[in-house]
Amino acid sequence: MDRVGEVPGRYLSDEQRLMRETCRRYVDDVVRPFIAADREREWSFDVATRLPAEILVEADRAGLRGLGVPEQYGGVGLDPAAQSQTFSIIATELARGDSGLADKLVQNWKISVLLHALAPQHLQDEWFARYMADPQFLMAHCLTEPRGASDRWLPYNVPEAAMETRAVRENGHWTINGRKQFISNGYDASLYVVYANTNPSVGLLEGTSSFLVPRDTPGLEVTRCNETVGGRYMNNGEIVFEDCRVPEDHLLAHGNALGKAGVYFRPGKIIVAAKNLGIGIAAFEDTAAWVQQRVQGGRILIKHQAVALRVAAMATKLEAVSALLRRAAIAVDEDSPDATRLCDMVKVFASQEILEVCQHAVELHGGYGAMLEAGIEKYFRDAAVYLHTDATVDVANFKITKTLFPATAGTYAGPE
């Protein structure tokens, strides 16, 4: 019998089925035992030692780091016609183990796809080789800034809404100045894809360029690890660029970087919803086991009508999220006209429905639901982060309405 909320095996290719089984063994044999063994470890403020190196070494042995990396560099080749679907399946399974670890790995998958699409061959040769040789190697996508994040995706494409991080070409180099904030893997990444304004006279969509910036580049400083309420095994960071000079050939896309990053953004929303779903599946399974063992009022919990109603609601929400996620992933793989809208829809729907699943889980565990050692409160904390991951719920809803009613919907940004 298929798990509640997962894509039924009959819809998977042999390759996808094998990859999910491999990931499931990794999650069940390595990740979940690690999480259960020390519930306090994720709250350590010694960032460098929070996640032991062996966890990523085992992920490497299972072949989970190589998704998105071209096969000639030792990566795992994915069928382009089902790439987003495969990412979704594996991300769901990883997040069932831990959403922070899933965040750590999927950033590498998405950036690998982006680099393969945009980076010059010699840079791919260098960096894919280095990435595959080091299980601790992480990559980060630096877009968000202190004064601009998901609101920049609203239809207000004018110079004053452009990025504050700037890049200027001079003497065969690009010099970058600015600050990036809330960057996944930002604290401990070895390689960054950085977005900067290269033409202040035009709007965001025409004046933004992207660059490949190694961590050891002079002028790049990682200033802090942002301590989050959930997903704590991914170290979110803040990065400052002060006269950071990169060679001219480290330019990935000039002027239209945001348009060319579609290979990152659309699968990215699929993966965000998939990770969210994985949290919900784990919360449901732990709760299902609890209500069939715990006795209250003279009977096991599931025999109480109020409990049965909540369990049914949890399962229904998981199946609904899974169905929309599958549809959106197929739309991305087929490059359908409705793909962008469906990506925003599943991001919003998953973030709200899974948080409710985790709320039910906490409440059905009674007092134990709030206890650190029970592990249930972690699902609620991890799920809460997704309300603003890859755009806030409200901004995503604005975008959905704009795609539905382009002639009459508001701009939702700009001067009063």
Which uninterrupted H or E stretch holds 380?
helix 376-384
Cα 313 from Cα 319, distance rounded (Å): 10
Q: What is the mean pLDDT of the chain?
A: 95
Residue 265, classed as helix, strand or coil, is: helix
Q: Which residues pair with 338 in a beta bridge?
A: none
* pLDDT attached to residue 147: 85
- With contact defined as beta carbons under 8 Å apart, do 378 and 101 qualify? no
Cα 403 from Cα 165, distance rounded (Å): 29
Output the DSSP codes for 143-174: --BTTBSGGGGSS--SGGGS-S-EEEEETTEE
**Structural domains in the chain, sorted by start:** 9-136 (1.10.540.10), 140-259 (2.40.110.10), 261-404 (1.20.140.10)
* pLDDT attached to residue 196: 97
* pLDDT attached to residue 68: 92
Q: What's the pTM?
A: 0.96
Q: Where residue 254 falls among pLDDT bands split at 50, 70, 90? A: very high
The sign one gets for the Cα dihedral 74, 77, 83, 86 is: negative
What is the greatest pairwise CA distance in the chain? 80
Flag whether pLDDT at 281 surpasses 90. Answer: yes
* pLDDT attached to residue 321: 98
Q: What share of the chain is helix, strand, coil (3-state, %, to 5)?
A: 55, 15, 30
* pLDDT attached to residue 8: 94
Q: Where residue 56 falls among pLDDT bands split at 50, 70, 90? A: very high
9 Cβ contact partners less than 8 Å away, ≥ 6 residues apart:
2, 17
214-229 confidence digits (pLDDT tens): 999 999 999 999 999 9
Low-confidence winner among 5-19, 145-159, 396-410 (lowest mean pLDDT) = 145-159
**DSSP structure class, residue 65:** S
Query: Where do the H-state alpha helices sit in 27-176?
Result: 32-37, 53-61, 83-97, 99-118, 121-133
- With contact defined as beta carbons under 8 Å apart, do 156 and 411 qualify? yes
Q: Where residue 262 falls among pLDDT bands split at 50, 70, 90? A: confident
Flag whether pLDDT at 368 surpasses 90. Answer: yes
167-179 confidence digits (pLDDT tens): 999 999 999 999 9
59-98 confidence digits (pLDDT tens): 999 999 999 999 999 999 889 999 999 999 999 999 999 9
335 Cβ contact partners less than 8 Å away, ≥ 6 residues apart:
none
Flag whether pLDDT at 264 surpasses 70. Answer: yes
Question: Mean pLDDT throughout 33-54?
Answer: 95
Nearest 5°: the CA angle 203, 206, 210 is 115
The radius of gyration of the chain's CA atoms, rounded to the nearest angstrom, is: 21
Cα 285 from Cα 293, distance rounded (Å): 13
Question: Mean pLDDT throughout 237-251?
Answer: 98
Question: Mean pLDDT throughout 264-273?
Answer: 93
Question: Mean pLDDT throughout 48-69?
Answer: 95
Cα 316 from Cα 207, distance rounded (Å): 45
Helix pair 305-333, 262-291: axis angle to 10 deg:
160
289-304 confidence digits (pLDDT tens): 999 999 999 999 999 9
* pLDDT attached to residue 416: 65
